[in-house]
Amino acid sequence: MKSAPFIFLFLSLLLSELNVSACTTFIISGKITPDGKPILFKHRDTDIMDNSLVFFSDGKYDYIGLVTGDKNWDRMVWGGYNSTGFAIMNSAAYNNNSGDTTRFMDQEGVVMKLALQSCRTIADFERMLDSLPKPLGVDANFGVIDAYGGAAYYETGNYRYVKYDVNDPATAPDGFLIRTNHSMSGNLKEGYGFNRYNIAMKAMGEAIASGSLTPAYLINSFSRNLTHALTKIDMKENLPDGDGSDFRFFIDFIPRYISASSIMVVGAGEPKQAKDVVMYSVLGFPLTSIAVPVFIEGGSTLPGVVTMGENLHSPLCDAALSMKDKCFQNTNDGGKNYIDLSLLINAKDNGFMQLLNPIEKEVFEKSDELIAGINTGKKGKREIQSFYKWLDEYLAEAYQDKVGIKLFE
């Protein structure tokens, strides 16, 4: 019985790690992408699962932002891009304010909204950080790109920040940087996300080596990565037979129980391409959702599947969460730590990920055609709105047919 306190301590530490607000992010310099466009990515972990996209016109620039379905949805943005091609996201750091007892905190979403409203370049963002009253109330790795070649992380605390230029070979010798939940300029004995950082580094190395820096490949390689950096377990190997439940321990992968969305912004290679920028969002649990592209050039009406409704929910997010709930039906002994892998992927090829994959593939094929036309100036707002209409109709039919879910009532 003497071991009971130690068991309790271990479980307490484990649960505290599970409840940490966490994200896995990367920035790829346009210097190594085939089209010269930088890429910004955020896999979001949070306690608020209801995520949507909103088109905002409340600042100097229009912007599309990822928001949560709570009372602060219009005060805070958790990633997005604006009409100048400036994009921003963040990950919580947990080691930028070591020893700081400031109580003012959790202002990251406010800072990102202000940046989208007012910033055109990463230099504008630096000036904004310099000019805002201190303490900032943040402990974050802010990632930003712009249409002028800028791409950088700002490891930011209450009183200072450290810039990491993704275009600088001395800082990013391979043309990319990754951040999870610790800052490299902070105390590396603090923070979280080290296992996720390691598997993300491996995934990025494989993407670059194979020449696969496409949105479809990167989203699957990160937000749907089921390899554990420490144990080397790959859940995509030795699949369940699909004849019954098969629960697996599900801790410290990039996707986690609290994963609520992903966004990827494919930026502009030069200022005149700002109108061509596209943002892909994966709303809800990324393992049971699909990627949807949106364009500021398309105007304020976004696809209905990703738009926040009066209930502060979006249809695609609700659908993803309903499938997620089925994968975590064990309510005993820390049930959130165990996923029913058989419902997600199995040897019969009828898990949720497997059923959704061809749906997403069709969306990527259609959007790739649209993006090619936008990049050459042959397509614009009218074609984008036509694509949105097709997208809502196609997904409503496909979800009903493949997974038995009505997206629109």
Q: What is the pLDDT along the chain (409 residues), one digit of tens a residue?
A: 444 444 433 443 344 344 457 899 999 999 999 999 999 999 999 999 999 999 999 999 999 999 999 999 999 999 999 999 999 999 999 999 999 999 999 999 999 999 999 999 999 999 999 999 999 999 999 999 999 999 999 999 999 999 999 999 999 999 999 999 999 999 999 999 999 999 999 999 999 999 999 999 999 999 999 999 999 999 999 999 999 999 999 999 999 999 999 999 999 999 999 999 999 999 999 999 999 999 999 999 999 999 999 999 999 999 999 999 999 998 788 889 999 999 999 999 999 999 999 999 999 999 999 999 999 999 999 999 999 999 999 999 999 999 999 999 8
Cβ-proximal residues to 51 (8 Å cutoff; 6+ apart), any chain: 44, 66, 67, 68, 69, 78, 260, 261, 283, 284, 314, 317
Helix or strand holding residue 396 (H, E): helix 381-403
Of 42, 44, 43, 47, nearest in space to 19 by CA: 47
| Rounded distance between C-alpha atoms, residue 74 and residue 189, angstroms | 36
* pTM, to two decimals: 0.94
User: Three-class SS of residue 296?
Assistant: helix
Beta carbons of 330 and 247 less than 8 angstroms apart: yes
| Rounded distance between C-alpha atoms, residue 29 and residue 195, angstroms | 24
Query: β-strand 80-82 against 87-92: which pairing, if any?
Result: antiparallel
Q: How many residues does the chain have?
A: 409
| Rounded distance between C-alpha atoms, residue 23 and residue 390, angstroms | 32
Q: Which domains does the chain have, with CATH numbers?
A: 4-403 (3.60.60.10)
Reading the block at residue 190, the tokens are 């603090």
Q: Give me the residues paired with residue 140 across strands.
A: 92, 156
Reading the block at residue 73, the tokens are 């949805």
Q: What is the pLDDT of residue 22?
A: 84
Q: What is the pLDDT of residue 4?
A: 45
Beta carbons of 52 and 305 less than 8 angstroms apart: no
What is the largest distance, in Å, between two alpha-carbon atoms of the chain? 73
* DSSP line for 248-277: EE--SSSS-TTEEEEEEEE--SSGGGGGG-
Edge-first strand listing for the sheet containing 23-28? 176-179, 23-28, 39-45, 259-266, 278-283, 291-294
Q: What is the pLDDT of residue 355?
A: 98
Reading the block at residue 14, the tokens are 């484990």
| Rounded distance between C-alpha atoms, residue 261 and residue 320, angstroms | 10
Helices (H) and strands (E) counted in the chain, each on its own, are 9, 15
Helix or strand holding residue 68 (H, E): strand 63-68
| Rounded distance between C-alpha atoms, residue 393 and residue 409, angstroms | 13
| Rounded distance between C-alpha atoms, residue 302 and residue 219, angstroms | 21
Of 90, 100, 94, 49, nearest in space to 194 by CA: 94
